[in-house]
Structure 1
Amino acid sequence: MGVMLQENQRYVAARAVDRWIVGVDLGQSTDPTAICALHHRVVPLDNWKPKGGGVWRQAATHHFDVRHLERLSLGTSYPAQVQHVVNLMGRPPLNAGATLVIDETGVGRPVGDLMDDARLKPTRVTITAGLETTQHGARTFHVPKGVLISGLDARLHTGELRIAAALSDAGALADELKDFQRSVSAAGRATYAARTGAHDDLVLSVAIALWWATYGATSSVEPLRI
């Protein structure tokens, strides 16, 4: 149901979004590299809700659909991995401006530099054990693991995050999610980690793509004054 716009009130309109984010969790010698392609859509609704102080905000639905999911073979060289991502990003619809987000926690900056050399311009994420997300340069962020996993968990529970069952690694992702354990310290700090011996590469590739989609969505509304 719509709302009649009136003077002296501020209306915050939802902005329609249709974009692709590719999340890459870079592996090391014993962990494979995982790649996720996430389709993020925001659909504004004909529904305005009062937020107090004369502000009305337009409602919208968020959709996060995992359309591609894969693990690269162990032992694949980093130059070959970069070329694989180049090839993937060159296919439609990703070649129409998809954002690349990589977890460079374990491998450090060199692989990200290779991607920069390949003109991929990745947004770089270092996963931390802290509580605060911080930005270090135009495309570099430190993000707590708890933020990544709790965000993924929340979107799964609301049904906004969907993983296509036909994806070859969908079952492996489901197993990784089951293997994740949440623990709370004596100080009340929550931490997330896979069980000993279990992988979490697919989970993290989805989580960093989802984090970026959500982070970018914080600026997806703009005030409309009449």
Structure 2
Amino acid sequence: MDNPDGYTTEHVLGLDLGQASDPSALTVTQQRTPVRTGPGGLQVEERGDPEYAVVWIKRWELGTPYPDVVRDTAAVHDAPETGDNPELVMDATGLGAPVVDLFHEEGLNPVEIMFTGGDSVTRDGRTRRVPKADLATCVQSLLQSGRLKIAEGLDLAGQLVQEMKHFRVKISDSGHARFEHATEAQSDDVLLSLASALWFAERGQVLKSSHVIT
């Protein structure tokens, strides 16, 4: 979009819940979208392609109890810096209902992403079943187009960059693309938390009202 009238800004949180052998990770990403407004700037008539900046990362120690993760996530979600009720997108793959319920009981009402090895996205309420390849290609596309940045001096930025470098594409016997880290010793928790949030922001088809900055 050439010469936008202003920008909408909002934040999206991505959470990858660890299990026995991997830690939990939370990312906060700022989404800045160019807009063209109607008369008086009261109505958004056209939106451009959003740009994203990873502004905060938290990675819990291995074995941190889920209630602690819920409490910490709620504190970030409710912080003034993240805006008014930002969307929380959570990787719920392999988790039981009691774990997910902890987040609902805290009032976070997360969007649940479940990774699949299929070729299509399906939806059941706030749960999306998404091919893991879709999440990985979403991050790759945003990086290549220059629409995804990592804030300078960000704690754990190096961890995220390393996870991006180690992610690999593997083609199964059936011809399906699978995205995973190169070895079992390498982690992908920060990357998957970010990928879940970015996929939802780009393709989740959920728009929230935002403040227009001129």
Q: How much has 1:99 moved relative to structure 2?
A: 0.5
Post-superposition CA distance 1:125-161 (Å, at most 9, x none): 1111111111012x11101100000000110111101
Equivalent residue, structure 2, for 1:165 = 152
Post-superposition CA distance 1:28-62 (Å, at most 9, x none): 1210001000111110369xxxxxxxxxx957242
Q: Is the 8 A contact 1:17 1:41 kept in 2?
A: yes
Post-superposition CA distance 1:39-90 (Å, at most 9, x none): 11110369xxxxxxxxxx9572421111111211112111111111111112
Q: What is the percentage of aligned positions where both structures have the same residue?
A: 34
CA distance in 2, matches of 1:71, 1:58: 37
1:16-165 pair list within 5 angstroms: 17-44=8-35, 60-137=48-125, 139-165=126-152
Count of aligned residue pairs for this structure pair: 199
**Bigger Cα Rg:** 1
Query: What is the TM-score normalised by the length of structure 2?
Result: 0.84
Q: Is the 8 A contact 1:27 1:106 kept in 2?
A: no
CA distance in 1, matches of 2:83, 2:46: 31
Q: Tell me the amino acid that sits aligned with residue 172 of structure 1.
A: Q
CA RMSD of aligned residues (A): 2.6
Q: Which runs of 5+ in 2 are unaligned?
A: 38-44, 209-214
Give the SS at the match of 1:36: strand
Q: Tell me the amino acid that sits aligned with residue 22 of structure 1.
A: L
Equivalent residue, structure 1, for 2:212 = none
Q: Tell me the amino acid that sits aligned with residue 24 of structure 2.
A: T
Q: How much has 1:119 moved relative to structure 2?
A: 0.6
More strand by share: 1
CA distance in 2, matches of 1:129, 1:42: 31
The answer as to 2:172 corresponding to 1:181 is no
Query: What is the TM-score normalised by the length of structure 1?
Result: 0.80
CA gap of 1:194–1:66, structure 2 versus 1, over 3 A, is same
Q: Is the 8 A contact 2:11 2:82 kept in 1?
A: yes
CA distance in 1, matches of 2:72, 2:51: 27
Q: Tell me the amino acid that sits aligned with residue 119 of structure 1.
A: G
CA distance in 1, matches of 2:207, 2:175: 31
